[in-house]
Structure 1
Amino acid sequence: MGNPFLEVIDESTDLSLIEQARNGSRAALEKLILRHQAWIYNIAIRMVFHDQDAEEVTQEVLIKAITRLDSFQGKSQFRTWLYRITANHVLNMKRRGGEVQAQSFSHYAAAINAIPDLDLPDAKQMPVDVPLLVEEAKVSCTTGMLLCLDRKQRLVFTLGEIFGASDAVGSEILEMSPANFRQNLSRARRDLYQFMHGQCGLVNPDNPCRCPKKTRGFIDEGHVDPAHLQFVPQHRQSVAEAAEGMARSLEDTVEKQYATIFREHPFLEPKDQTNWLRLLLDTGDLRNTLRLN
């Protein structure tokens, strides 16, 4: 589907699918969930980092949404209702994945600096092309930086800076004022971009940290698995391409260069979620609760 975080969206298809699902159409419910699950997954991956944990979080959110669908009365947009469930879940869920150990920017910098600068791995010994490994190291490292933000900042940054949601849309989902949303986004940008400006060489050429130099070290430390690339193989389009028409544009500043790094991250598709959803809908209790055909 298109970007659900646009200022103005057409929800006619969603509303039609909701009505059909309430009347027992399993096919309509599947279509409704599959329209939104990749967006929920892309929020989850930035909250917990590891793909398996993100899939688990996505499933938990979808189960909540499916079982509460009858409570949606159309008094707010479906987008607001669904992503408010998502936001509340990821802000209050148990720690998992990359969150298990609390991370700070100082600790993250120390961990990166402790990884030696090495030559690129031998292409003949790698199961994938070396440039893919470098890209995996870059996306893994910059995604990991998000874990140094607290949960609220991380979620606000994901919605506002990466997905380009406006203050009005972001504040509606997070149930805060637009001014509060802007303040949280400003703090997240400040903390993250100050760290990157002092540590990362992607924008500031004075910094010695370079993704190609760290790639082999990331592999040796287990942060990048050449046999299981978490980000790059699933890359069908960038976040910026998926979120085309995003409301929040970027001014031509150094901050834009940092924000662009995150908007160029891959927009990921969760693995095998269709089969998971069908297995879920086949459970007797849920079928009876939803009165599915």
Structure 2
Amino acid sequence: MHNPFTEIVDESNDRELIEQAKNGSRDALERVVLRHQAWIYNIAIRMVFHPQDAEEVTQEVLIKAVTRLSSFQGDSQFRTWLYRITANHVLNMKRRGGESETQTFSSYAAAINGTPDLNLPDPNAIPVDLPLMVEEAKISCTSGMLLCLDRKQRLIFTLGEIFGASDTVGSEIMEMSPDNFRQSLSRARRDLYQFMNNQCGLVNANNPCRCPKKTKGFIDAGHVDPNHLQFVSGHLRRIRDAASDTVRQIDDIVDLQYATLFREHPFLEPKDQIQWLRQTLEQRDFSTTLHLN
């Protein structure tokens, strides 16, 4: 799978498709968008939490990118150009989804601790297997933790820790120096890891919180819906597989444990990618912008 965050990226295919798109090929435009759409979506979902809101954010980013594609002259890497648009959009967009209510580590801990420890639900009473249900609760809870970081921290953590982008790649996208990117990532790690070390049983066995014990409480509170799983399915492709060629060097074994937990999250695919793209191209006058037939 094409991974745009590798240190050295071969953009020959992207650039060829861009030129074809500028010369009127709608097929080339579809193909270049589809090479990046899922990556943008996986950034968006960590910014807003809910898949439907992430789909909306992804659409907004891609509309901006497609509209401005004719201005891309190849002076920089296409990766840098596209993901700068993505970064600027998610840092400045309206609040929605999981961001609708401000979340802090303190309030998040209170919410988790206020969820009662219960036995798992009767397997005959829910439409999915119990291990899948527990996995959904785990991914939902750890994804929610990211919302306790401010937007810039969350984005830098997503790029640098979850996707494994190097300081050079991350700093180019964020338009900051590699040293500042590394320092910002270190602060995001410190804040998140300190919380998890004090709260989460996944990373510190001395903590009483356990995903199976919280699953039914999350269901009862409406945070997890057995009839509509947001993050897991019968077949999972994980971040560590999609971004297998971008793994940051981490010396601290404890930090490595946390990083592995987030790279075990699913790599999610937006629904109906091609259908949405074609409808968007038909509804908006991109033919004028890109001179498409």
Tell me the TM-score range normalised by the shorter chain: over 0.9
Aligned to 2:16: 16
Shift in Å, 1:235: 5.1
Kindly indicate whether the alpha-carbon contact (under 8 Å) linking 2:167 and 2:178 is maintained by their aligned counterparts in 1: yes
Q: Which amino acid aligns with 2:10?
A: D
Confirm or deny that 1:214 pairs with 2:214.
Answer: yes
Aligned to 2:100: 100
Kindly indicate whether the alpha-carbon contact (under 8 Å) linking 1:234 and 1:269 is maintained by their aligned counterparts in 2: no
Aligned to 2:259: 259
Aligned to 1:62: 62
Q: Give the share of equivalent positions with the same residue, in percent.
A: 75
TM-score by length of 1: 0.98
Deviates more, 1:229-238 or 1:141-150: 229-238
Name the SS of the counterpart of 1:68 in structure 2.
helix
1:44-193 equivalences under 5 Å are 44-193=44-193
Kindly indicate whether the alpha-carbon contact (under 8 Å) linking 2:70 and 2:289 is maintained by their aligned counterparts in 1: no
Q: Which amino acid aligns with 1:124?
A: N
Q: Which amino acid aligns with 1:276?
A: W
Name the SS of the counterpart of 1:7 in structure 2.
coil
CA pair 275-253 structure 1, distance change in 2 beyond 3 A = same
1-structure distance, mates of 2:284, 2:239? 37
2-structure distance, mates of 1:112, 1:284? 44
Aligned to 1:292: 292
Kindly indicate whether the alpha-carbon contact (under 8 Å) linking 1:156 and 1:185 is maintained by their aligned counterparts in 2: yes
2-structure distance, mates of 1:211, 1:284? 45
Aligned to 1:205: 205
Q: 5+ unaligned residues in a row in structure 2: which ranges?
A: none
Deviates more, 1:193-202 or 1:251-260: 251-260
Q: Which amino acid aligns with 2:168?
A: A
1-structure distance, mates of 2:9, 2:94? 32
2-structure distance, mates of 1:234, 1:123? 16
1-structure distance, mates of 2:52, 2:237? 21
1-structure distance, mates of 2:71, 2:102? 36
Q: Which amino acid aligns with 1:46?
A: R
Shift in Å, 1:274: 1.3
CA pair 140-284 structure 1, distance change in 2 beyond 3 A = closer
Q: How many residues end up aligned between the 2 structures?
A: 293
Q: Which amino acid aligns with 2:23?
A: N
Name the SS of the counterpart of 2:277 in structure 1.
helix
Q: Which amino acid aligns with 1:198?
A: N
Q: Deviating runs (4+, > 6 A) in structure 1?
A: none
Aligned to 2:279: 279
Kindly indicate whether the alpha-carbon contact (under 8 Å) linking 1:160 and 1:166 is maintained by their aligned counterparts in 2: yes
2-structure distance, mates of 1:103, 1:63? 29
